Every structure is written in C-alpha cells, then in structure tokens.
C-alpha cells in the first residue's frame, strides 16, 4: 500500500516502541490529519484516558489502521511536534513499507453475544434437518469463534451458524475444531469453531467490529 492511499480522518492505533524495539503498553488512539508531499504524515497527538500523550521527537512508533482494502501497519519516527489551531499534532516519518496485516495475526476478542446454529454434517451423515440450537459467543476472531453450549459436539462436525454484529446479520458454515468441558461452569461446553468459506465482506465486518470495540475499550482505559 502507498502512503498516498491513506485517508485523512482515519482512526489510528499508536504503540510507542522502546529503544530496543519492544512495543510498549498501552495502545493509544489517534487520527490521520494529512499526508504530506514528502511521504510523511501528520497525526493528532494520541489520547489515553481522556488525556493527550505528548510523545517526544525521535520516538519510534507502530501505527495500525483500518482501510477499505484491509488492515495495515507500519513503523514511524516522530519527526516534529507542533500545533495546528491550538491542537497538538505530530509529524511522522514512515520507516519501511506499509504492510497489510494478515488475518491470522488478529487475536480473539472476548465478548458475550447470542448465536444460533445447527449441525449440518456429522460423521458422514447429512443432518440438515436438525433443529436450531442457541449458544453464547465467548470470543470471536476473523477466523472463528469460541462458543458456550449446553451439550458437547463432535470435533470435525460441520455446523451452520447465524449471528448479528452491530446490526449486521451474518451466516456461515463452520467446522468444530474443539470441544471441552468449560472450566468455569461444569454444565457448559467450550466449543471452538473455524469459519469455512466465509465471504470476504463478512470476515472484514467481523474484524472491523473487533477493531472498533477494542478502540472503545482503550478510550475508556480498560485495555
């Protein structure tokens, strides 16, 4: 991706790097103001727990952001701190390339939401007439989910699931890859599923949902 494809107003996650290149917590929230002709960018000074974070000149940072083409990341150096209309902004020199983050790099986001599903293929049999079951999503990623169910299911069974994320209805065929007794409640089962053949639009909507929920938690200082 080229820096000129970045969109002013895009929300950014900023991680400050130590002198040895280790990412430091917490992750801050910022916004892209402008892409400059020299290939550098201007961003708002990041915010954490409602306070501006004045990152010093010369600091190395990692920037992650959502774009219509996917999720991207790059490293940069704070080249200048200045003000625009009494707002503190940072000029960032981009170091290296802007690269697309592979979906496997997205971690699972813990949440509790309802989902319904039915087994459609088990032990070589077509069970498409099986009734729908209710469960809870306990975590979600771009590649699958962890479910809490009332009974166990067979690994390698295929299921059809339907769920809703912020008003967007989704449906996917999935494969059961894990089924264990839930360690926090012996009446429940921890069932891991992997999405099979999910379309790119739905997968990107899931990743966007995770990205935005994380951002809200960071703004509240909860992560």
Confidence at 221, pLDDT banded by 50, 70, 90: low
Residue 118: per-residue pLDDT: 92
Residue 197: per-residue pLDDT: 80
Residue 150: per-residue pLDDT: 93
pTM, full prediction: 0.56
CA distance 180 to 190: 5
- Residue pLDDT, tens place only, 58-112: 999 999 888 877 778 999 999 999 988 888 999 999 999 999 876 544 556 788 8
Residue 104: per-residue pLDDT: 45
- Residue pLDDT, tens place only, 115-174: 999 998 765 566 555 689 999 998 888 788 999 999 999 998 999 999 998 888 999 999
Residue 105: per-residue pLDDT: 44
Q: Which residue has the higher pLDDT, 25 or 123?
A: 25
DSSP H helices in the chain:
200-219
7 with 35: CB under 8 angstroms? no
From start to end of the chain, where are the E strands?
11-16, 28-35, 41-44, 47-48, 51-52, 60-67, 70-84, 87-100, 109-122, 125-126, 133-140, 144-149, 158-165, 168-181, 189-196
């Amino acid at each position: 991706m080229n820096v000129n494809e970045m969109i002013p107003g895009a929300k950014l996650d900023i991680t400050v790097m130590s002198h040895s290149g280790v990412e430091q917590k917490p992750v801050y929230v910022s916004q892209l103001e402008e892409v400059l002709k020299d290939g550098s960018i201007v961003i708002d000074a990041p915010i954490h727990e409602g306070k501006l974070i004045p990152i010093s000149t010369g600091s190395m940072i990692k920037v992650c952001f959502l774009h219509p083409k996917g999720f991207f990341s790059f490293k940069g150096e704070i080249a200048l701190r200045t003000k625009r209309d009494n707002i503190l902004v940072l000029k960032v020199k981009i170091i290296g390339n802007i690269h697309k983050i592979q979906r496997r790099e997205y971690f699972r986001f813990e949440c509790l939401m309802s989902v319904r599903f039915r087994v459609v293929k088990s032990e070589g049999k077509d069970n498409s007439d099986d009734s729908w079951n209710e469960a809870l999503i306990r975590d979600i990623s771009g590649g699958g989910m962890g479910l809490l169910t009332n009974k166990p299911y067979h690994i390698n069974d295929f299921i059809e699931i339907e769920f809703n994320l912020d008003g967007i209805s989704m449906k996917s065929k999935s494969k059961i890859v894990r089924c264990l007794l839930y360690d926090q409640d012996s009446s429940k089962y921890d069932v891991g599923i992997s999405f099979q053949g999910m379309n790119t639009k739905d997968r990107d909507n899931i990743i966007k949902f995770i990205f935005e929920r994380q951002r809200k938690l960071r703004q509240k200082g909860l992560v």
